[in-house]
Amino acid sequence: MEKFLRPEKFEGREGTTSEQWTDWYHTFTNFLDTIEAVPDSAKLKLLINYVSPVFSYISECTRYSESIKVLEAVFMKPPNEIFARYKLATRKQQSSETIDQYLQSLKLLAKDCSFKAVTADLYSQEAVRDAFITGLTSSLIRKRLLEKPTLTLEEAVQQARSLEMAQVNAEMYASSFSSNNYSTVTAVVDSDSSPSYASKVPEEENEMPEVAATKSACSFCGRLCHPRYLCPARKAICHKCGKRGHFSSVCRSKVRPEERSSIKESAMILSSLTLARHPLIVLVSVS
């Protein structure tokens, strides 16, 4: 019988649940019961042999009962009443579960809910508290409330209000910070796109090959994709169509032949006016 009840070694890895420890401890206790008249010192030696992976926890213990208390303190996590009731309230029947299996699952979840005889008023407050936490739209607030092992309705409401106000203030701060940054960037872009700045930029830098509007190219200036408020062509006037907001190198409008001839005529007129304002003087030497 002894060899059939001999337990496996207790690994005690990170994430070991209270149920896993309880199951192993019951198996180990049954194993000790099959051995007649086991002194306390022998129990401690057997325990050390079967919990060698976590021996460091009980290395200074000299008694079996003391070692068990230390291990229980490490691996027996106190139940979280609030989270346990949340799990019970939100547990749904799985498609593969029978009615009896689903009922048994609910009963197991109810064990950690700390149900006890209470007055009708207290029972009502606990029911409202559970419904309040379950129905919150903010998953962040619900998560913070579920971290509490115990919580009254009044405490839950007060903490939820504080968390909600903190969340609203954080969003207002983020919005204000983003708005200030946008204003600063816009001011810089406006100053960079002024005539004095534009006159310093070589023409070949403004003229880019015709580029289709893709994810990697800006459809307004032809350069690498960037936010609209950072585009150097945001206030530029196209030499091709005369519209504001893009460079002529990426202009999609088509110029009709009559418009092209009109442009040439305008250019000739401007050229003649320039010559008229600045007469050409030729020096002739006569021998």
Q: What mean pLDDT comes out for the span 190-204?
A: 46
Which one of 57, 75, 93 terminates a domain?
75
Most confident range (mean pLDDT) of 19-23, 77-81, 159-163, 227-231 is 159-163
**Quick count: other Cβ atoms within 10 Å of Cβ 228?**
10
Looking at residue 111, what DSSP letter applies?
G
Cα angle, residue 248 at apex, residues 243 and 249 outer, rounded to 5°: 150
Give the C-alpha separation, 94 to 102, whole Å.
8
How distant is the alpha carbon of residue 168 from its chain centre? 17
Task: Say which range, 4-8, 124-128, 147-151, has the weakest mean pLDDT.
Answer: 4-8
pTM of the model: 0.41
31-84 residue pLDDT tens? 888 887 788 888 888 898 888 888 888 888 889 989 999 998 888 888 788 888
Q: Is residue 255 part of a domain?
A: no
Q: Is residue 201 part of a domain?
A: no
Reported confidence tier of residue 115, pLDDT bands at 50, 70, 90: confident
Kindly state whether residues 60 and 87 are assigned to the same domain.
Answer: no
Which one of 107, 126, 161 terminates a domain?
161
Kindly state whether residues 93 and 144 are assigned to the same domain.
Answer: yes
Q: What mean pLDDT comes out for the span 106-131?
A: 86
Kindly state whether residues 90 and 133 are assigned to the same domain.
Answer: yes
Q: Write down the pLDDT at residue 157.
A: 92
How many domains is the chain partitioned into structurally?
A: 2
Reported confidence tier of residue 256, pLDDT bands at 50, 70, 90: low
Distances (CA, A) of 211 to 207, 208, 256: 11, 8, 21
Looking at residue 229, what DSSP letter applies?
G
Q: What mean pLDDT comes out for the span 173-199?
A: 54
Domain extent at residue 128: 81-161
Which one of 145, 161, 177 terminates a domain?
161
Q: Tell which residue, 230, 226, 236, has the closest CA to residue 181.
A: 230
Kindly state whether residues 18 and 44 are assigned to the same domain.
Answer: yes
Kindly state whether residues 91 and 66 are assigned to the same domain.
Answer: no
